[in-house]
Structure 1
Amino acid sequence: MESVEAMKELTARLDESNARLVSLDQRLLRLEKKTASLSYANMEYALPVADGALSGRVLLVGWYGADNCGDELMLRSILKHFKGKNTRVTVLLWDYMHYDPSDLPEFVDTLHYPSNTWHLRQLVSSFDVLVWGGGAILDDLQYTDDPFNFNTGNLFIRLSSMMHDEGKSVYSLGLSSNAVFTSEGYINKLARIVSESEYFSLRDEHSFRTFQNAGIDMSKVHLCEDVVFGDPDIKSVVPVQNSGNGRLLVGVVLFCSEEHTEHNVCLLTALADYACKRNIDLDVRLIPFFDCYGADRRYLEMISDRVDLPNRLSIGEYSSSLEDNEIFNCDAVICYRYHAALLAGAKGIRSLFVCNDSHPHYPNKIAHLAKLFDYEDNVVDESALNESNFELYFDRLFAPAPAPNVRAGLFEETCEWLESICSSIVSSVKTSEKMISGS
C-alpha cells in the first residue's frame, strides 16, 4: 500500500511539474515574440512604407499570421474574392517569425504588426483603404493608452480613427464584440468609426445588441454571416467520415491553456468511460487549432499522457485550409473553439459546442452559431459541463441525435455578399488612384 501511495504522490508531482513547464514555455515564447518584433519591424516600416511604394493599395487587417486556424480561414476566404481584380492587397501579419506567407496569392504583399502604435502614422500615409477582415476584435478590454499595446482590438480603434482623420476609407467585414462594453471612452471612439466608415458589419445579432445597449447609432451597421461561409470552396468540401478501421472517430478541439487543463482531462476521461459503458468502438483525435510555436501540439501531448485511452487517442495535424482540415474526417466533434464549431456545423457533423463563458468574446458568437444551425440543445457553457452531465451531452453526439441544420442558400448568399463588398473596395481604390494621378 505504501508503494501505491508513493506512486500516486510521484505521479501528482510529475503532473504538476509538467503543467509548470508548459506555463514557463508559454511565457518564454511570449518573450521571444516580443523580442522578435523589435528585430524586423523598424526596417519594414522604414523602407517600403515610408517611401510611399505601397500607396493606393488595400491594407487588410485581422489577427492574421499567428497560425490561428479560424483567423487564417477568414483571411483566405476574403483574399479569394480579391483574386482577378487587378488590385494588390497588403496583409498585416502578427509578429510570428515562423509563419509562412508563401501560400498566399501572388497579388498579396505583407507587412508585420507594428511593434508599437507610433508606426501607425506610416501605415495611414501609405494606404488609401483599410479593411478589417473578420474576427472578434471589438474589445474595449484590449484598448489602452499604452503605445506598446498592439493588440488587434487596440489597433482597430487607433488605426481606423487615424484613417478617418485623413479622409480615407475604412471597411469592417463580419466583426463581433464582447458581450458588453464598459468603457465610455471606447464606446465614443467606436461610434465615430461606425458613423464614418464606408461599410460596417457585424456577424451576429448578439454583438448588434451589444452595440444598441451601448447607445451606438445603428443606422449604418449591417448584419452578415462569418466571412468563412463566403469562401467559394466551402460548399464543395465533402467530409470523409467513418473511414479507415471502421471505428467512430470523435474529434476534440480544446482550449489549450493551463487554466483549462483539469477540465480537459476530466472531459476526455469521461468520454473514454462513456464509450466503454456503451460498447462504442471509438477513436478520439485531438485537433490543434493554434500552431504558433506549436503551442497546441505541445499542450495536447502533455494532457494525452493523463488520459487512459491506449491506442485510441491521437493528435491530428494542424491545418489553416478548408480542404484538409481534420474536422472533416470526424464522425462527431466536441468544439471548444468557435471556428471548429462553424466548420462542423457547416458540414452537418454532429457536434457539441462548448462555450468558454469566461472569455469576453465567446458568448456572442457561440450563441449565434447555435441559432444559425438550429442546434441550441447541443450548446453548453464550459463552466456548467462537468461530471454531473457529461453523459447527457455525450448522448447528443451520436446518432440518432440530430445533426446541425444548414440553412439553404447560406453559402451562396454569403459568397455573393463578400464578392460585392470586395468589388466595392477595389472600385474605391481605383477611384482614389485616378484622383491622385489627376486623370
Structure 2
Amino acid sequence: MRVILCGYYGQDNAGDEALLVCLLQMLPATVEPVVLSANPQVTTARYGVKAHYNRDWGKIWQLLGQCDGFIWGGGSLMQDVTSVVSPLYYGGLMAIAQMRRLKTIAWAQGIGPLRRPPLRWFTQQVLRGCSGISVRDQASLQLVKQWGLKAFLAADPVWSLAAENASSSPSPLPMVAVNLRAHPLLTLERLAVITEALRDFQHQTQTHVRLIPLQKSQDLAIAEAIAVELPGSHEILYRPDPRECKGLFRGAEFTIGMRLHSLIMAAAEGSACFALSYDPKVSRLIAEVGLPGRELADLPRDSNELSQVWQGHFRQRQPSTGVEFLQKSALQHQTLLQKIFVD
C-alpha cells in the first residue's frame, strides 16, 4: 500500500521534521510512504524514503492515481492566522485525494483558529470526507465535535521522539536553552527587552546560554543578534535533523522558548520551561500542560521585570509534570494508522 504524506516538510523546520520522523516510525510495515517535500533530495537522504517536490503539480496528480492513501502528517495545517494559502493548499490536496477515492487521514492535527467563514466551511467539508481524524489538543477536539465529527485525541507526537547525539555543554555552568523565531509580534522593541532581560538573567544566575534555532531561515539571525549582547558563556547550536535537535535540549536546566516544538522537546528532555507565546497553539500548550509563560503581546516593557520572572522560575526549576503520560499518549496516534490501513 502506497500512501502520500503531506505536511510542512523539507523546510528545515525541526518541529515539522520531527512530526515526519514520528509519522514514519508509526506507519504500519505494510505501508510504503511517499513524502511531498520542499526539498525532496534532503528528505530522501535524511530519512531513506521516496520524496517528491511539493509544488510539482503534474507529479502530484500522477501520485494521486498511483497511491492508496493520503495523510496530513501533523501540525497546524488548517489555520488562517499565519497564512490563507496554507489551508487552501493542504485542504485542496486532501479534497482531490478524496475525489480520487484514496483513504485520507488528518493525523495529529492542531485545527484552527479559522477566522474566515469560507475556510472554516472548507475545513469542515474536507474533514468530513476523512477515513480518520486524530488531533493533538483539546481545542481542536472541541472544534471537530462542534462540526459533528469524531476525532481521536492524543498528545503531540513529538513528545515521543527519541533524541540523538546530545552534545555536552562546553561550560561547567548550569545550561539554559533559548529559542526565539522571527514573527510580527517579536518587534525590535520586544526583542531588545528580551535580550536585555537575558543579559541580566545570565549575570544574576551565572549560567551558560545555549541558543537553539529550530528553523535556520527564521531563528538563526535572531540567535546571532542575541549572542553578541551576552557577556557570559554562550553558544549557538543548530541541528536540522530533529532527533539531534531534540538532543540539544538534554541537560538544559531551564528553557525559554517561542516555538511549540522547542518547548515540547525541552520538556520531554526534563527541562523546566518558560513559554513566550506568539500563536494560539503555544497558548494551548501552556493551558493544557501547565507551563509557565507569557503571551508575547503582553510581554513586560521593563527588562528587569522579565528577568526577575525568569530568575524565579529558574530557582524553582520545576520540570513539567505528566511528561511520561504525554509520551505514552503521543504513541496512541499510531492506533489510528493501524485502524485505517491494517484492521
> Considering the TM-score relative to the shorter chain, is it more than 0.5?
yes
Give, as a single letter, the amino acid of the residue that structure 2 aligns with 1:252: V
Matches within 5 A, 1:357-372: 362-363=279-280, 365-372=281-288
Aligned-residue RMSD, C-alpha = 2.9
1:153 shift after superposition: 2.4
Correspondence 1:267 to 2:197: no
- Measured after TM superposition, the shift of residue 79 of structure 1 is 0.7
Structure 2 equivalent of residue 136 of structure 1: 76
Q: Is the contact made by 1:328 and 1:344 (CA closer than 8 Å) also made in structure 2?
A: yes
In 1, distance between residues paired with 2:309 and 2:88? 38
Q: Distance in 2 between matches of 1:346 and 1:69?
A: 15
SS at match of 1:265: helix
Query: For 2:125, what is the secondary structure of its paired residue?
Result: helix
**Counterpart Cα distance in 1 of 2:70 and 2:40:** 24
Q: Which runs of 5+ in 1 are unaligned?
A: 1-55, 145-150, 357-361, 429-439
Structure 2 letter corresponding to 1:63: Y
Structure 1 equivalent of residue 44 of structure 2: 101
Show the 5 A alignment for 1:75-94. Answer: 75-82=20-27, 85-94=29-38
Pair 1:392–1:252, CA change in 2 (3 A): same
Q: Which amino acid aligns with 1:158?
A: G
Matches of 1:173 and 1:230, distance apart in 2: 15
What whole-Å deviation, never above 9, does each CA across 1:49-107 have from its counterpart, x for those lacking one?
xxxxxxx5110111011110100111001111237x1432101102x4884531213xx
Q: CA deviation at 1:394?
A: 0.8
Q: 1:344 aligns with which of 260, 266, 269?
A: 266
Q: Quick one: which of 220, 230, 239 aligns to 1:297?
A: 220
Question: Deviation string for 1:244-284 (max 9, x for gaps)?
Answer: 532122111001357544322321211212343x3x21222
Inter-CA distance 125–190: structure 2 relative to 1 (3 Å threshold):
same
2:342 paired residue number: 427
> Aligned pairs, how many?
339
227 and 184 in structure 1: CA distance in 2 versus 1, 3 angstrom threshold: same
The amino acid that maps onto 1:423 is Q
Q: TM-score, normalised by structure 2?
A: 0.87
For the 8 Å contact 2:201–2:308, the answer to whether it is kept is no
In structure 2, relative to structure 1, the CA distance for the partners of 1:331 and 1:91 (3 Å cut) is same
| 1:195 aligned residue | 128
The amino acid of 1:176's aligned partner reads G
Distance in 1 between the 2:192 and 2:82 partners? 30
Query: Shift of the alpha carbon at 1:373?
Result: 3.0
Shift of 1:120: 5.0
Q: Tell me which moved more, 245-254 or 128-137.
A: 245-254
Deviation at 1:225, TM superposition (A): 1.3
Identity score, percent:
19
Which of 109, 116, 133 aligns to 1:175? It is: 109
Aligned position for 1:110: 51
* Cα deviation digits, residues 200-254 of structure 1 (max 9, x gap): 1221112233445xx5223x222221121343x36xx79888x553212211100
TM-score (norm 1): 0.69
| Letter aligned with residue 20 of structure 2 | L
Gaps of 5+ in 2: none
The separation in 2 between residues aligned to 1:271 and 1:182, in whole angstroms, is: 35
Change (3 A) 1:418 1:115: same
Alignment of 1:27-176 (within 5 A): 56-82=1-27, 85-94=29-38, 96=39, 99=42, 101-105=44-48, 108-114=49-55, 121-140=61-80, 151-176=85-110
